[in-house]
């Protein structure tokens, strides 16, 4: 008897989770209504420089992301005028849980649960409507590290964690990383070699039919970098030089198979 009840409760919870993910998918891949994306800035390293940078942020700093989504969506015939709206929320005080570099499947599952818990209360701002997708952007003083930690975007939970540089000159690059992780929450997959970082041919190339193939003038958003030669690649200055390739457009349902 109790065993049956326990199983019934468990099935009910699993069903709830499945229905929730399914509804999220419909809401984020329909492209009939503007998708609200909340940017939650955080001081990632506790430095005065990062703090100063975060305090100087305005919603305008993220308008390039809206323009990028609108321009590329329209190129694929998506009718909605503004597919994505980026909203800037006040600075948070707590940092999201970090994912250990050597985390196994169980560690990742545990981390993603803790991240969802974190996002649920960190995105609650009195007087402000909660966004559909929550992007936590951790700013770092470039002097404290040579390389920012890996950023993440989760489709299940609609959460992104982005590590960014607290430098005006890097604002364009930061927006590329935010747009990339946002794309992950919408169902897009990486299109670069996870070992070397090289864009994968052809899906990670903005112009796979270009002759000569190198150097590529622009980057595909899920590759993040444009290939200069077979070995060299670089991140463009900003989203102006980034496109959404056909494979990514299909994954986020801008096009149908």
Min separation Cβ 118 and Zn ion, Å:
20
For residues 165 and 182, give the distance between their C-alpha atoms in angstroms, rounded to a whole number: 18
Site string for Zn ion, 212-241 (x = CB under 5 A): ------------------------------
Radius of gyration of the chain (CA): 19
For residues 71 and 28, give the distance between their C-alpha atoms in angstroms, rounded to a whole number: 18
Min separation Cβ 4 and Zn ion, Å:
43
**Nearer Cβ to Zn ion (190/207):** 190
Helix (H) or strand (E) holding 256: none
**Nearer Cβ to Zn ion (190/241):** 190
Query: What interhelical angle do 171-185 and 63-75 show, nearest 10?
Result: 50
**Nearer Cβ to Zn ion (44/204):** 204
β-strand pairing of 159-165 with 219-220: unpaired
Sheet containing 84-88, strands listed edge to edge, beginning at the edge strand earlier in sequence: 84-88, 35-43, 133-140, 159-165, 152-154
Min separation Cβ 185 and Zn ion, Å:
11
Please, what sign has the CA dihedral across residues 17, 20, 160, 119?
negative
If binding means CB under 5 A, how many residues of this protein chain bind Zn ion? 1
**Nearer Cβ to Zn ion (67/190):** 190
> Of 129, 179, 183, whose CA–CA distance to 154 is shortest?
183
Among 24, 67, 87, 190, binds Zn ion (CB under 5 A): 190
**Nearer Cβ to Zn ion (54/179):** 179
Min separation Cβ 36 and Zn ion, Å:
22
Examine residue 164 and say whether the peptide bond preceding it is cis (omega within 30 degrees of 0): no
**Nearer Cβ to Zn ion (85/184):** 184
Q: Which among 19-27, 163-171, 189-197, 202-210 is the span making contact with Zn ion, rule CB under 5 A?
A: 189-197
Q: Which among 93-101, 104-112, 187-195, 229-237 is the span making contact with Zn ion, rule CB under 5 A?
A: 187-195
Positions in the binding site for Zn ion (CB under 5 A): 190
């Amino acid at each position: 008897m109790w065993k049956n009840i326990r199983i019934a409760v468990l099935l009910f919870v699993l069903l709830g989770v499945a229905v929730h993910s399914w509804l999220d998918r419909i809401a984020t891949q329909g492209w009939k209504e503007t998708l609200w994306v909340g940017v939650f800035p955080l001081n990632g390293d506790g430095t005065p420089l990062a703090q100063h940078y975060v305090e100087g942020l305005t919603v305008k700093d993220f308008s390039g992301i809206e323009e990028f989504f609108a321009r590329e969506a329209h190129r694929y015939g998506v009718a909605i005028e503004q597919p994505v709206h980026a909203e800037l929320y006040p600075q948070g005080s707590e940092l999201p849980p970090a994912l250990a570099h050597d985390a196994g499947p169980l560690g990742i599952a545990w981390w993603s649960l803790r991240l969802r818990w974190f996002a649920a209360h960190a995105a609650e701002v009195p007087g402000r409507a909660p966004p559909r997708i929550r992007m936590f952007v951790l700013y770092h003083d470039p002097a404290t590290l040579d390389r920012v930690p890996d950023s993440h975007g989760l489709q299940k939970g609609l959460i992104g964690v982005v590590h960014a540089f607290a430098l005006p000159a890097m604002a364009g690059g930061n927006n590329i990383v935010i747009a990339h992780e946002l794309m992950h929450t919408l169902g897009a997959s990486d299109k670069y070699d996870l070992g070397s970082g090289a864009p994968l041919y052809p899906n990670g190339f903005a112009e796979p039919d270009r002759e000569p193939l190198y150097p590529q003038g622009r980057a595909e958003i899920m590759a993040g970098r444009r290939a200069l030669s077979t070995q060299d690649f670089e991140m463009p200055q900003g989203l102006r030089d980034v496109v959404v390739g056909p494979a990514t457009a299909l994954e986020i349902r801008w096009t149908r198979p």
